[in-house]
A = this chain, B = another copy of it.
């Protein structure tokens, strides 16, 4: 039996949005879902119970980082990633592919895999489909990801065509190497901004009959309208009965647009990273806590939010903490941002159940204006 299964409860009558459930060995995840990122076996500046309190039931952790430090064998000895980091919910690990491809001059790609140097100490390593799966098997996440080739943007069509074939060959090697029956392996569709190649990539990976499929290579620098158009074509190529995961997307507007096009899962470092830089997501759009206008503003970050931070602290206090370089600033803003996204996804799920997703999407844009168009 597959450790990861999925069901659709309800579909939107006007958009591609769908309300589903993902069943994992560490609990049920209501979809559409946003996954907070815990790169180094911790969602930065948060206790795991706090992450849970923001509504998260599935988080992402990074294979590249954990392989280099503390090492996957150590995590295995600790009883696996869930136990090591004290997270009782479900976990998805990426393949490490995106990180090693991002190393630029410090990596070399061959058919075997990617030879790279550690960003920590410059030591030399090889990440291949087999090695990525071996590491992910040791980490023990509920969902593991195929090792794919992450191409630059823009990339020419010939290169992308060759690359999707390699990604498929690598997926087959991942599937052959995978040997932990408590983990589900998801495939990743690539194909750059070429609809025909996206279709071809989808056709190839879907043949492998996996419990879920991700859309990779979007949100890599292309304009949002381009992303939305390609996304729409990608989703069409994926089977209805399997969960669809749009990788690296977490801006509130993109979550709405992804859901509208039939995406079930999202992840992004955005809400946690911008929090540490003093930026909050609110029902009125973005709040930059550094702004001098908040110096004596004794009202909460978001008057419509009932999170721990908004119930107990003023913008003036949060601004003070940020200016004073206090750790509590990162703790509180991270909490708020994850709570905001958790509550937003909950609203989205309820709106799909009640077939009023379109109205919610409209209200969201009316409330937050063009705040999300600014560079985050």
For the complex, give the distance between the alpha carbons of A317 and B86 in Å. 10
- Interface status of A41 (Cβ within 8 A of chain B): yes
A316 touches B74 (CB 8 A): yes
A78 touches B298 (CB 8 A): yes
The answer to whether A316 and B45 touch (CB under 8 A), given A40-B324, A326-B40, is no
Residues of B within 8 Å of A78, CB to CB, are 298, 314, 316-317
A313 touches B86 (CB 8 A): yes
Chain A 302-345 interface mask (CB, 8 Å, partner B; 1/0)? 00000000001110110111011011101100000000000000
- Interface status of A154 (Cβ within 8 A of chain B): no
The answer to whether A41 and B84 touch (CB under 8 A), given A70-B295, A298-B78, A331-B331, is no
8 Å CB contact of A316 from B70, B317, B319, B327: B70
CB distance from A73 to the nearest CB of B (A): 9
For the complex, give the distance between the alpha carbons of A214 and B89 in Å. 50
B331 touches A327 (CB 8 A): yes
B74 touches A296 (CB 8 A): yes
The residue on B at minimum CB distance from A298 is B78
A327 touches B77 (CB 8 A): no
CB distance from A88 to the nearest CB of B (A): 10
For the complex, give the distance between the alpha carbons of A128 and B295 in Å. 27
For the complex, give the distance between the alpha carbons of A266 and B324 in Å. 25
The residue on B at minimum CB distance from A84 is B317
For the complex, give the distance between the alpha carbons of A293 and B44 in Å. 25
- Interface status of A42 (Cβ within 8 A of chain B): yes
The answer to whether A44 and B316 touch (CB under 8 A), given A296-B74, A298-B77, is no
For the complex, give the distance between the alpha carbons of A11 and B228 in Å. 75
Interface residue count for A (Cβ, 8 Å)? 35
Residues of B within 8 Å of A86, CB to CB, are 312-313, 317
B77 touches A324 (CB 8 A): no
8 Å CB contact of A69 from B46, B69, B324: B324
Residues of B within 8 Å of A313, CB to CB, are 86
The answer to whether A42 and B296 touch (CB under 8 A), given A74-B316, A86-B312, is no
The answer to whether A326 and B74 touch (CB under 8 A), given A69-B320, A331-B331, is no
7 tightest A-B CB contacts, nearest first: A70-B320, A45-B327, A40-B324, A42-B328, A86-B312, A42-B326, A84-B317
Please give 17 more A-B residue pairs, beta carbons under 8 A apart, in addition to A44-B326, A86-B312.
Answer: A41-B320, A42-B328, A44-B328, A46-B328, A47-B331, A69-B320, A70-B295, A70-B324, A74-B295, A74-B316, A77-B296, A77-B298, A78-B314, A78-B316, A79-B298, A84-B317, A327-B327
